[in-house]
Amino acid sequence: MEQFLRSMRGTAEGLGEWAFYAFVLLVIVALVRIIPYRIFHKTHRVIAAIYLVLIFHTVVLYKFSAWATPLGLVMALLLAAGTVAAIMSLFGLIGASRKAEGRISRLHYYPSLRVLEGDVDIPQGWPGHKAGQFAFVSGEAANEAHPFTIASDWHPEEHKLTFITKELGDFTSTLRDRLAVGQRVTVEGPYGCFTFEDDRPAQIWVGGGIGMTPFIAAMRQIARAREQDPQKNWHKDVFLFYATGTWCDEAIGKIEALARSAGIRLHVHYDKRDGLLTGERIREKVPGWRDASIWFCGPVGFGKALRQDFARYGFDVRKRFHQELFEMR
């Protein structure tokens, strides 16, 4: 075996060098946002193949006598685990056990917001989810899976998921023209830890634009629970701040009705009318903010500004400022 590995040394060195260059190139593709998601998605899969080449490079060039040492055994286990993961990626097996088949049952477009809302009927296979989690969706409109926050709670008797997407990129901007009621889709999930679980007596929710999606799911869950048992206190004291730069009577009306059903104190902040939503304005509306937790979903810059603002006032942002990090690249 040692003699065979020595004979492959030149091949391993050459392949390893080119594999490294290719890996660096694909990392650049992943980091450069102007490259469309559909291209990034395909190149991302190629990294698994490159990784297998680098494993071959490592096995051949690793000192043969070192394989019997503790470090060599650890290296072998890591390479074996990496090989299994790479093969699963190449054959599309990652997340296979979390996939469920469904059909689009409803589509509704909000022109002023450039937002598309749709329902997916999933008769069987969906394990359920917590409000605030997300899923990958693929189907006839796109072979590659795209992540979307789930905007509904889950009840097996209804077996329906709601997704709300905004026209922000090359993919979402064309969804309205490519989707139709009745189309088959595959939903993979649920994923994510933005689930509103903590030990604080109150919560402050801040949704910026399309970042309202997880809060809509949470309100639907609370409203349904209150309807089933009106006498029970189903949730904490919640203050919801919705910051939007575009006004839509229909969408705002639905959010207001949902907030009333869930017993949540809603503050709609229209940028053109009210200016920017700041930490100071939130603190004015929430007297007990020091004891609350903050759950934020929206533009990254907005979240960073709020986090820094509350930190200056002694708020423990490390433990009690929760931000949905919804960026896949």
Q: Residue 30 — very low, low, confident or very high, per pLDDT cuts 50/70/90?
A: confident
Q: Can you name the residues that pair with 270 across neighbouring β-strands?
A: 244
CB distance 146 to 136 below 8 Å: yes
| pLDDT for residue 232 is more than 70 | no
CATH architecture for residues 98-191: Beta Barrel (2.40)
Give ∠ CA 254-267-305 in degrees, rounded to 5: 120
What 64-73 contacts at long range (C-beta under 8 Å, 24+ apart), as own/partner pairs, is: 64/1, 64/2, 64/5
Q: Which of 33-42, 54-63, 235-244, 281-290 has the lowest mean pLDDT?
A: 33-42
Report the distance separating Cα 148 and Cα 121, nearest Å.
Answer: 16
**Burial zone of 227 (CB within 10 Å; 0-12 exposed, 13-18 middle, 19+ buried):** exposed
- Virtual torsion, Cα 218, 221, 222, 224, nearest 10 deg: 150
Residue 42: predicted pLDDT: 77
By C-alpha distance, which of 310, 306, 295 is closest to 194?
295
Residue 214: predicted pLDDT: 96
Render 5-48 in DSSP notation, one character per residue. HHHTHHHHHHHHHHHHHHHHHHHHHHH-TTS-HHHHHHHHHHHH
The predicted model scores a pTM of 0.84
CATH architecture for residues 202-323: 3-Layer(aba) Sandwich (3.40)
Domain boundaries, the chain: 2-90, 98-191, 202-323
Write down the H helix ranges in 229-299.
249-262, 271-274, 279-285
Mean pLDDT (whole number) for 319-328? 86
Q: Residue 329 — very low, low, confident or very high, per pLDDT cuts 50/70/90?
A: low
By C-alpha distance, which of 116, 106, 216 is closest to 166?
116
Average pLDDT, rounded, for the chain: 91
pLDDT > 90 fraction of the chain, expressed in percent and rounded: 74
Report the distance separating Cα 149 and Cα 152, nearest Å.
Answer: 9
pLDDT > 70 fraction of the chain, expressed in percent and rounded: 96
| pLDDT for residue 191 is more than 80 | yes
Residue 227: predicted pLDDT: 86
Q: Residue 231 — very low, low, confident or very high, per pLDDT cuts 50/70/90?
A: low
Residue 233: predicted pLDDT: 63
| pLDDT for residue 311 is more than 90 | yes
Q: Residue 328 — very low, low, confident or very high, per pLDDT cuts 50/70/90?
A: low
Element (H, E) at 78: helix 70-90
Residue 56: predicted pLDDT: 95
**Phi–psi pair at 137, nearest 5 degrees:** -125, 135
CB distance 16 to 53 below 8 Å: yes
Residue 201: predicted pLDDT: 92
131-145 pLDDT, tens digit each:
999 999 998 766 678
Residue 169: predicted pLDDT: 75
What 159-162 contacts at long range (C-beta under 8 Å, 24+ apart), as own/partner pairs, is: 159/121, 159/122, 159/123, 159/124, 159/126, 160/105, 160/119, 160/120, 160/121, 160/122, 161/102, 161/119, 161/120, 161/122, 161/126, 161/135, 161/187, 162/117, 162/118, 162/119, 162/120, 162/217
